[in-house]
Chains A and B, each alone.
Chain A
Amino acid sequence: EVQVVESGGGLVQPGGSLRLSCAASGFNFSDYAMTWVRQAPGKALEWVSGIRANGGSTYLADSVKGRFTISRDNSKNTLYLQMKSLTAEDTAIYYCAKGGPDIAIWVFDPWGPGTLVTVSS
């Protein structure tokens, strides 16, 4: 079964940092793009970042550029999202999703259950 599961969420103070992880299983991780999508409480989905299958290219939403970094370790079948300079506006459920082959960061299937990040003092 193709599966992705996020971890690393929690409560962090404004200005703080956090690293999210996403463990993938059931597919050849190194062949597929991966993506992070977030959803603030009661709000719409927001695309955050994507990364090519080989990790050679990364893509970020303007709202997180300069603060968030996406990376992957294909030897560990794991995707990461390093977040810094966090603000209350970053409070959301963060979903990891498997993309399409190679560079296809534009399709998300399946999604993980999500991990909640709360930025508050």
Chain B
Amino acid sequence: QSALTQPASVSGSPGQSITISCTGTSSDVGGSHFVSWYQQHPDKAPKLLIYDIFNRPPGVSNRFSGSKSGNTASLTISGLQDEDEADYYCSSYTSTLTVVFGGGTRLTV
């Protein structure tokens, strides 16, 4: 199972909005409702931001939103803040009953 494709890096200024893409195939992102996004700060464990394409767990800011179109899922962060600077990973359930992650995107604010 090949990793999902994410841009290696994105950047934005405080207050701006950015979008991170996550491209897979019809065997994973395109055929699955189970797409998630995770935030990882340096030397910390990842944290769930979005699950089932667009749902936010309790406690996650509504500045984070998810969507999907075809084989590509997207994470949008609005009103960028300094603390948003981190690595972001997408994941998807696959047709072979496994999970695949994206290669990760480094966000610089």
A106 touches B36 (CB 8 A): yes
Q: Which has the most chain B C-beta neighbours within 10 Å: A50, A108, A113?
A: A108
Q: Shortest distance in angstroms between B12's beta carbon and chain A's nearest beta carbon?
A: 21
Q: What total of chain B residues lie within 8 Å of the partner, measured CB to CB?
A: 26
A42 to chain B, nearest CB (A): 10
Cα A107 to Cα B56 in complex, Å, equals: 12
Residues of B within 8 A of A (CB): 1, 3, 32, 34, 36, 38, 40, 45-48, 51-52, 57, 89, 91-93, 97-104
Interface of A is mostly: loop
A35 to B48, CA, bound (A): 14
Q: Which residues of B contact A114 (CB under 8 A)?
A: 45
The 5 closest A-B pairs by CB, nearest first: A106-B93, A109-B48, A47-B99, A111-B45, A106-B34
Residue contact A106 to B101, C-beta cutoff 8 Å: no
Please judge, given known A-B contacts A47-B100, A50-B99, A59-B97, whether A110 and B48 are in contact too, CB under 8 Å: yes
CB of B34 within 8 A of CB of A107, answer: yes
Chain A, residue nearest B103 (CB): A44
What would 12 A/B residue contacts be, using CB atoms closer than 8 Å? A37-B101, A44-B89, A47-B99, A47-B100, A47-B101, A50-B99, A106-B32, A106-B36, A106-B92, A107-B36, A109-B51, A111-B45
A108 CA to B92 CA, complexed, in Å: 11
13 more CB-based (< 8 A) A-B contacts, given A44-B101, A45-B104: A37-B101, A44-B89, A44-B103, A45-B40, A59-B98, A106-B32, A106-B36, A106-B91, A107-B52, A108-B36, A108-B38, A111-B45, A113-B45
Does A20 make an interface contact (CB < 8 A)? no
Is the C-beta of A102 less than 8 angstroms from some C-beta in chain B? no
Determine if A55 is an interface residue (Cβ-Cβ < 8 Å): no
Contact A45 B48, beta carbon cutoff 8 Å: no
B89 surroundings in chain A (CB, below 8 A): 44-45
Q: Most chain-B Cβ atoms within 10 A of its Cβ — which of A47, A62, A113?
A: A47
Question: Closest approach, in angstroms, between the C-beta of A15 and any C-beta of chain B?
Answer: 26
Residues of B with C-beta under 8 A to A110? 45, 47-48
